[in-house]
Structure 1
Amino acid sequence: MSRIDEIDIVEVLRQKDRRSVARLISALENREEGAIDIIRKIYAMTGKAWIIGVTGPAGVGKSTLINGMIDEFRKSGKTVGIIAVDPTSPFTGGAILADRIRMQLHSVDEGVFIRSMATRGHLGGLSPATSDVVDLLDAFGKDVIIIETVGVGQDEVDIIKIAHSIAVILMPGMGDEVQTMKAGLMEIADIFVINKAEREGSDRLQAELEMVLGLASDMIEWKPRIIRTVASKKMGIDVLLDALYEHREYIKASEQFKEKRHHAIRQRLFDAYQDLTLARAMSKLQDVEFNEIINDIYERKLDPYTAAEKLFFK
């Protein structure tokens, strides 16, 4: 019997048992035996939470901004789940925790659940288990789930597959970077936030963003808003939340958003099928046999595709 089998998942959620939820998250992250059963048991209970992605380059103040967002949501009575995705330590495989001291002050609040996760080398800016953990926090009853992702760029746009509303955080002095990140930004951003807006260069950055948005205005249904904040002084965070709520109302009636969600679900289904197919193939192989196949490929006796077919049809 696995550790997961010892947990009554539905009862854990009903009782709001934070410690057991943390154990279930670890099981999902580590892909422990029986982890898939967690999602099987809770999936019908999901779909109620509003999922917000917060992304942007290192140093722009994402964690400080999220801390302010938590304050605002809690003032309005919303419960909040936070998934903070960090780069993976090359030595331990665990999350390299950023400076989240202020955010962690909320961890004593029963209405807030904070969890750091590691990317574990996964491209896309997220952990492979992020979707599953979002489902768990959704079933746990969190009204809002905020995902803080690693950076933003061409290879770091997985957040679009999970989040309903996405805020891309920038800061003055990044005008040139806006030009190089154009494609990735335009694909994922619902709201641009110019944080540290008291600094010189805010006007230039806003002009750069407005120029980029102007070029794409005829191709998009929702024109991303540009919000200025000074998160360290809690300035502009209420305006950011107003813009997020505006976007939430938009997506309720948007066919384009519905199509995006269908595409994301299709991708998640494909990923799940791929994982199960690989697990099934590997379960039929002894280590010795697998090593023999690898050696045959190494010695050019077998090509990788024929070897893969042998595994698939075994």
Structure 2
Amino acid sequence: MEFMNLIEEAMSGSVRSLGKLISLVENEAEDMQKVLKAIYPQTGNALVIGITGPPGVGKSTLVSWLAKKYREKKHSVGILAIDPSSPISGGSLLGDRIRMSHLPPSDDIYIRSLSSRGALGGISQATLNIVRILDATGRDTIIIETVGVGQDEVEVINVADTSILVVSPGFGDEIQALKAGIMEVADIFVVNKADQPDALKYVHTLEKMIQSISSYQSWVPPVIKTIALQGEGVKELMEKIENHQSFIKNDKSYLLQKKEKLRREIIRLAEQKISRELDHFLREKIDFDNILEEVASGRKDPYYLAEEMVRFFLKTRSEATKI
């Protein structure tokens, strides 16, 4: 089986085979499920960091510095840049290496730009699948940078072990808007461009907001000041990431959260499978032109017909199972 050869080669360090595996999963190729089932036992070893925040705060520069510093610690790094989907092709609109072009070329730093495919929160199932491929093929640290569209980015927590919200002075209105969303799920806050005027005042305001929503939490998210263009504050950020990792390993609620993430994923996968099978069934068995005519003329309502189609689908599936 060709996909097994790709897995073996990717695990042996072949970047080319890794890229092929990721394309296979991202494009939902025929062997995708076989690949994911084959690599799953090898997952669960990588540190997965999610980075989000408003556009223009310096997320990509910060990601580059983190990748560089983790490489200095001999980590193999994977970077997934989640971009908005093209409304026509479904592909990503931005480039991956354009934003991180100053990283030194190395097979130990793998950068991939992915389309959010319109998923709620900008994080698609494909992203989670690709994180697992990077994990299974030996990446020690995986960094996910999201599109940074605000509250919808709360979905990053479903993929990352440690979620980081990056902001900068001058984004006060955005912080207020984020309060009901990502602020509740961010594990670490980063105030980038900390050399700008009013940066300290901005940090204090943010700390007060965090205290107001974290009083019932055992982990209180720290606020780290960085100047990403110069790499300042990156070492302290990595220390806080390490602290958070140590914390969740000994936190019983984290295990419950992990189980809840898996529960939601299993339900989502089941829904996707049912949706695909229902779509195929309706195309094969249902005369939609006739149904649409009945609805358009007012002879039938869409609710009744939808219920009838589901009943027909379930009955047919039940009979097929008995056979």
Under a length normalisation based on structure 2, what TM-score does the superposition of the two structures give? Answer: 0.89
Write the mapping of 1:38-49 to structure 2, written as runs, cut at 5 A.
38-49=35-46
Q: Write the letter of the residue equivalent to 1:194.
A: V
- Code of the residue aligned with 2:155 in structure 1: it is D
User: Alignment partner of 2:181: what SS?
Assistant: helix
* SS of match in other structure, 2:247: helix
* In 2, Cα distance between equivalents of 1:129 and 1:35: 10
Shift of 1:205: 1.8
The answer to whether structure 1 residue 58 and structure 2 residue 55 are counterparts is yes
Partner Cα distance (1:89, 1:216) in 2:
36
In the alignment, is residue 22 of structure 1 matched against residue 19 of structure 2? Answer: yes
CA offset at residue 90 of structure 1?
2.2
In the alignment, is residue 311 of structure 1 matched against residue 308 of structure 2? no
CA separation of 1:201/1:275 partners in 2, compared to 1, >3 Å: closer, same or farther?
A: same
Deviates more, 1:303-312 or 1:247-256: 303-312
Partner AA of 2:98 in structure 1:
I
Deviations 1:93-148 (A, max 9, x none): 21111575362444731211111001122221223301100000000100000000
After TM superposition, list the pairs within 5 Å mapping 1:84-233 onto structure 2: 84-97=81-94, 100-101=97-98, 103-106=100-103, 108-233=105-230
Aligned to 1:251: 248
Residue range with higher mean Cα deviation, 94-103 or 44-53: 94-103
1:80 aligned to which of 73, 77, 82:
77
Q: Is the 8 A contact 2:54 2:149 kept in 1?
A: yes
Q: Distance in 2 between matches of 1:309 and 1:154?
A: 38
1:172–1:40: structure 2 CA closer, same or farther, 3 Å change rule? same
Give the Cα separation in 2 of the matches to 1:154 and 1:6. 38
SS state of the match for residue 151, structure 2? Answer: coil
Select between 61-70 and 216-225 the one with higher mean Cα deviation: 216-225
Equivalent residues, number: 311
Q: CA deviation at 1:34?
A: 1.8
The equivalent position to 1:240 in structure 2, one of 234, 237, 240, is 237
SS state of the match for residue 122, structure 2?
A: coil
Secondary structure of 2:254 counterpart: helix
Post-superposition shift, 1:288? 7.5
Listed as ranges, the matches of 1:288-299 within 5 Å are 289=286, 291-292=288-289, 295=292, 296-299=294-297
Could you tell me which amino acid in structure 1 is paired with residue 205 of structure 2? E
The structure-2 alpha-carbon separation of the partners of 1:303 and 1:70, relative to structure 1 and needing over 3 Å to count, comes to same
Sort the Cα spacing of 1:169 and 1:313 in 2 relative to 1 into closer, same or farther, 3 A: farther
1:22–1:291 distance in 2 versus 1, CA, 3 Å: farther
Inter-partner Cα distance in structure 1 for 2:131 and 2:291: 37
Bigger CA drift: 48-57 or 302-311?
302-311
Higher normalized helix content (fraction of residues): 2
Pick closer, same or farther for the CA change 1:297–1:188 going to 2, 3 Å.
farther
Give the distance between the partners of 1:126 and 1:290, measured in 2 at CA: 35
Distance, in Å, in 1 between the alignment partners of 2:190 and 2:234 is 10
Q: TM-score, normalised by structure 1?
A: 0.92
Cα distance, 1:154 vs structure 2: 2.9
- What letter is aligned with 2:252? E
- Whole-angstrom CA distance in 2 between matches of 1:24 and 1:55: 26
Please give the secondary structure, in 1, of the residue aligned with 2:120. Answer: coil
Aligned letter for 1:303? P
C-alpha separation between the residues in 2 aligned to 1:61 and 1:187? 21
CA distances 1:184-218 after superposition (whole Å, capped 9, x unpaired): 13322111000111111212321221111221232
Q: Which runs of 5+ in 2 are unaligned?
A: 317-323
Give the whole-Å Cα distance in 2 for the aligned partners of 1:298 and 1:227.
59
CA contact (8 A) 2:211 2:220 kept: no
Deviates more, 1:203-212 or 1:258-267: 203-212
Change (3 A) 1:5 1:223: same
* CA shift for structure 1 position 298: 4.8
Answer whether contact 2:67 2:77 (CA < 8 A) is retained: yes
Q: Mind listing any 5+ residue stretches in structure 1 that lack a counterpart?
A: none
